[in-house]
Amino acid sequence: MATFLYRLGRLTFRRRRLVVMLWIAVLAAIGIGAMSAPGTSSGALSVPGTQSQKAIDLLRKEFPQASADGATARVVFEAPDGQKLTSGANKAEVESLVAKLEKSPQVSGVSDPFTSGLVSRSGTIAYAQVSYEVAQADVSGAAHAVQTDVVQQGEKAGLKVSLGGNAVESKSASKAAELIGVGVAAVVLVITFGSMIAAGLPLLTAILGVAAAVLSVTLATHFFDLASSSTTLALMLGLAVAIDYALFIVSRYRNEIRDGHEPEEACGRAVGTAGSAVVFAGLTVIVALSGLSVIGIGMLTSMGLASAFAVAIAVIIALTLLPAVLGFAGLRIMKGTLHTRRMKALERGEGESMGVRWARFVTRNPVKVLAVSVVGLALLAIPTMSLKMALNDDSGKPPGTTQRIAYDTLSEGFGPGFNGPLTVVVDARDSDSPKAAAQDAYTMLSKLDDVAAVRPPSFNQAGDVALLGAVPKSAPTSEATKDLVGEIRDHGTALHQESGADLMVTGLTAVNIDVSTKLSDALVPYLAIVVGLALILLLLVFRSIVIPLKAALGFLLSVVSTLGVLVAVFQWGWLKDLFGVDQTGPIVSLLPIVLIGVVFGLAMDYEVFLVSRMREEYVHGAEPTQAIVRGFRHSGRVVTAAAVIMVSVFSGFLLDDEVLIKSIGLGLAAAVFLDAFVVRMTIVPAVMALLGHRSWTLPKWLDRILPDVDVEGEKLRHALEAEQAEQAEQTDSAPELVPAGVAAGIHTESDGHGAPHPTGVPASAVTDEPAPAQQAPGNASGKARGLSRFKQRLTRGGDAVVPADTTESKATVRRKLLKNRKLLKNPMRRS
């Protein structure tokens, strides 16, 4: 793996213009295709195998006019203060608005509030139920325009008109979160690298990668029905991981430059080592996100696959486009004019970084640090035991929006249950008396304590399938409504035994309950599949039993602690004013499982990036504790920067008005913070310090079975050393260089690969022609670095080309060249 990526890095560095042009062509092609794409859908929930979905499928067949899976809207009317809607002028205005709704495009039916009994007892509030022939995503702009006209016309007449339901167009999401995330990422990168060029490259490649991913997801809507949330999650994750992956490779590239390697060689080594970690880190994220498809909910499947594709694009960009851009930057990426005095001292090897001091503190006090960290996370996890889940409805809309006003007005006039009516279907096709079965269902519903109203049965044309309506007394997301649905279904079992008819409950409220139940049941299988596959990947990467198990247990600590934070804020109301949460309620049922998928992938990112450098040091001969400290010396600062960037990107979504978006933002930000700083940078080194060499043990039989993927670049290092040794031998067998004027204009010259060849050019002319790869910046420090690298290469037996920017005389350089060649022949003379 490392050797292949090393060659890929050098190839893309050399062919940078071709690589950049190819990426531009790919982006242009995707963009052109995406322009004509239909776009993502709303992500309406379809849950095969559940009772609510079976009822919807039956209604679609037997009651096509009812548009069982079509969009719906509630138009709520409220009379002016001191008046009633039943008065002459107000009633006439409401009837006029209802007539206008009936003529709206795509409408299949509108219930008149005065003839359907949809007026409150006080006579001040009424509503019309509007059913559309199409799904939520397909409601046209013309239909939305009619809704807006109805609101404006009613308000001109003095009425208060508000809209609710899934057919109502929501306010477009703010882009402030993405902008804030990119801004904070830019600041963190500048602080980390101290260079505008080095900071700009990860941002540039990340933006291009996200553009390619989002355009590809849009293009895919030509062939697949994708939820609108797919693009949002792909954008969020694609931006975060793309910056992180580029950050690690750029950081390693700069380290290789400091070690004396030329830019092309440094790029190859950076991609071969850090790029290998990027590949396996990306694979863990892709596995976790793709695992969402095993749950069987279409919306989650599209979200997971779209996000996994965005991560795959981020990996490909980091391995191909980034090295090409590094080729254009060259040595200018090393110019750090923004470094503080302390950062410059650290680069010179003076003093110790915060990461090194922290690693030494942890390894000296592993038991105390481990105990404090685990106890702290356990305390945060306590609220998780009170976790309640439900799908969001209009009660979670921001205050002041038309959906929230409609919800609150209906609750005031009719009770909260009117915001979530239940649809009851009696399938009496196998019954001897369909009408008697439907009547029995109606009587049963009327006797239930939590039912506020029941609509009499209506039959299909064949008269063997009945449709009833039941309005709960409690709110749609309450436990009481969930219990009511379960009670009705239990009575359905008795009805089937008595009459042979099947009773099913559906409607948006029942669908949401079934989805929440299915998600809860899928948590354990999902965890088993995702964690199992990821453990196999980590086993290949680290060739250790302990490291993957420790990574998985640390992830579980992060997840339960994060769920505890979400319950405390959104369910219990702790610090709700700080986060702008105006009302508490159950956690959105989609959030925990999405959180698990996303956080597991990101947690393994940090595990791979941090521990792979420790393994690299350990494989190269360092003691376990030394490997931990050296791993922090090289990767601690970069992992910290990556975590801060991710936390910033996700925290930006707390500014959104939607409770769902707020909860996603807080959940992901808290999870990354806890996992990166508490688990990966505290618990992981503490456990590894306690275990010592046992952290890296692997049974011999398993070691023989597992392929060696060489993430730490050990094979690459040996290959490069062998190549250098071969070059040194070729140099030893070459004729000695003769100073100008001694020989008859004949001398040997390096061709850049250690292969000498004769030339008739005088030796003095060779020193006047610089090697392109060794041209240094036009300043004193650049010249010094170039000369230093040249001397290092001589010692290693590398190229023998003299840099042109040296201030020494040509004769002095020739004498040093001869001296170094003699040293290479007889290393004992160095002493």
* pLDDT confidence of residue 91: 92
Query: With 80 as the cut, is the pLDDT of residue 702 above it?
Result: yes
pLDDT at 338: 59
Band (pLDDT 50/70/90 cuts) for residue 38 is low
In whole angstroms, give the CA distance from residue 129 to residue 140.
Answer: 18
CB atoms within 10 A of CB 370: 19
Mean pLDDT for the chain overall: 79
Task: Look at 120-129, 266-275, 642-651 and tell me which has the smallest mean pLDDT.
Answer: 642-651
pLDDT at 116 over 90: no
Predicted confidence at residue 45, as pLDDT, reads 61
- Mean pLDDT computed over 629-636: 85
Q: Identify which has the larger pLDDT, 738 or 178.
A: 178
Tokens encoding 69: 């899976």
Tell me what pLDDT residue 446 has. 92
Q: Which residues of 699-714 are buried (b: 16+ CB within 10 A; e: fewer)?
A: eeeeeeeeeebbbbbb
How many Cβ atoms from other residues are within 10 Å of residue 30's Cβ? 19
Q: Which of the pair, 705 or 713, is modelled with greater confidence?
A: 705
pLDDT at 801 over 50: no
In the predicted structure, residue 764 carries a pLDDT above the cut 80: no
**What pLDDT sits at residue 79?**
93
Q: Which residue has the tokens 């995702």?
A: 530
What is the mean predicted confidence (pLDDT) over 523-548? Answer: 80
Q: Taking 60 as the threshold, does the pLDDT of residue 787 lie above it?
A: no
Q: What is the pLDDT of residue 734?
A: 54
Asked if pLDDT for residue 457 goes beyond 60, the answer is yes
Cβ contact 466:438 at 8 Å: yes
Contact 543, 651 (CB under 8 A): no
pLDDT score recorded for residue 232: 75
Cα–Cα distance measured from residue 48 to residue 298, given in angstroms and rounded to the nearest whole number: 9
**pLDDT tens string 279-330:** 888 888 888 888 888 887 877 888 888 889 999 999 999 999 999 999 888 8
pLDDT given for residue 77 in this prediction: 95
Model confidence pLDDT, tens digit, residues 337-372? 556 666 666 565 565 778 888 999 999 999 999 999
For residue 573, give Cα distances in angstroms to 569, 658, 721: 5, 16, 61
Contact 691, 598 (CB under 8 A): no
Q: Higher-confidence residue: 748 or 31?
A: 31
Is the model more confident about 66 or about 474? 474
Mean pLDDT of 529-536: 78
pLDDT at 365: 93
Question: pLDDT at residue 477 above 90?
Answer: no
Give 613-629 pLDDT, tens digit per residue.
888 788 888 898 999 99
Residue with tokens 């990027």: 278
Q: Which of 215-224, 482-491, 504-513, 542-551 has the least mean pLDDT?
A: 215-224
Task: Identify the helix (H) or strand (E) that includes residue 160.
Answer: strand 160-164
* Cβ atoms of residues 628 and 616 within 8 Å: no
Tokens describing residue 295: 């749950």
Close Cβ partners of 437 (under 8 Å, ≥ 6 residues apart) = 426, 428, 431, 466, 495, 499, 500, 501
Contact criterion met (CB below 8 Å) for 222 and 357: no
The pLDDT of 720-732, averaged and rounded, is 68
Q: pLDDT tier at 804 (50, 70, 90 boundaries)? A: very low
Q: Could you tell me whether strands 107-110 and 125-132 are parallel, antiparallel, or unpaired per DSSP bridges?
A: antiparallel
Q: For residues 415 and 657, give the distance between their C-alpha atoms in angstroms, rounded to a whole number.
A: 25
The sign of the torsion formed by the CA atoms of 813, 815, 817, 820 equals negative
Average pLDDT in the 447-466 region?
A: 90
pLDDT digits (tens, 9 = 90+) for 87-103: 889 999 999 999 999 99
Quote the pLDDT of residue 809: 43
Alpha helices in 86-227 (DSSP H): 88-102, 141-156, 176-193, 196-220
pLDDT band at 238 (very low <50, low <70, confident <90, very high): confident
242 pLDDT higher than 80:
yes
Looking at the predicted structure, is the pLDDT value of residue 125 above 50?
yes
pLDDT at 745: 40
Mean pLDDT of 244-266: 87
Indicate whether 76 pLDDT > 90: yes
Q: What angle do CA 242, 340, 643 make, to 5 degrees?
A: 30
Backbone angles phi, psi at 54, to 5 degrees: -60, -40
Please state the rounded mean pLDDT for residues 427-454.
91
Region 399-410: mean pLDDT is 89
Q: Which residues contact 648 (CB under 8 A, 6 or more apart)?
A: 180, 181, 184, 185, 188
pLDDT band at residue 176 under the 50/70/90 scheme: low
